[in-house]
Amino acid sequence: MKYHHIGFSQSDLGFDAPQTVILSGEPERSRFIAQTYLQNVKLLSQYRGLHSYLGNLPNGKPILVATSGMGAPSLSIVVNELVQLGIKRFLRVGTCGSIQPYISVGDLVISQGCLCRQGAALDIAPVEYPAIADPFLTVALVETARKLNIPCHLGITASVDTFYEGQERIESSANTQLQSWLIGITSTYRQLNILNYEMEAGTLFKMAGVYGFTAACVCAVVAQRTEAETIVIANKDTAVQRAIDVAINTISPV
């Protein structure tokens, strides 16, 4: 049976089915990871733009690379169906905006947990339920980044539902009139020592706790929110490749 949203079935994974998936919000990033880092790559599905690939890591172990789409609702559907296929370990490779002045574009943020402000997560667990990453996989990511001499920061992520209003964007948004409770939210989070904004990890971490799988997240910093609202496109590819290198070398050490 093909799962409705991801577009493939257990039989498509073969006899030696993978238990690890690298999740990316962008189908283009999923394709790049599969074609650049994996061997024996097979496209499983492109349904709904949720590109998924089966392949082998450099150490020979099978792995999935899957697209989660933008935001927690899409991610929650993809993760649910992947769990039903037997996936036990989820590693999100994403992008984010720094809200601390000492975290630069091109650096990595590795999330140890999230302030989770996401509606999808509320359908899975109460608001008080902790959104925490697997400590062992998270520490392994940090150790890999240090071995590769890639600047990384370990800490708390603000995981929110919207890119514009939820991350207090006004100058670059069609809506310049934020709700009053969102005005100043970035400064508040900065004072709480929160490192960055992104849109999926909080729900992923809550699902990990409820469903019983391992999850971690490494994000490339592509915006410096103490300086500007906009993404620094010129530095995005380099930053993202750093995050991918850390992810691949963590789960398939050389």
Report, as residue numbers or ranges, the catalytic residues: 5, 81, 169, 225
CB 179: neighbour CB atoms within 10 A?
Answer: 9
DSSP SS3 for 13: helix
**Amino acid at position 149, single letter:** N
Q: How far apart are CA 44 and CA 74, in angstroms?
A: 18
Q: How far is CA 199 from CA 73, 97, 124, 186, 194, in A?
A: 10, 10, 16, 15, 14
Q: How far apart are CA 96 and CA 178, in angstroms?
A: 21
Q: How far apart are CA 99 and CA 103, in angstroms?
A: 8
Question: E strands along 13-103, which residues?
Answer: 20-24, 39-45, 52-56, 62-67, 89-98
Rg for the chain, CA atoms, rounded: 17
Tokens 């283009």 label which residue? 28
DSSP SS3 for 151: coil
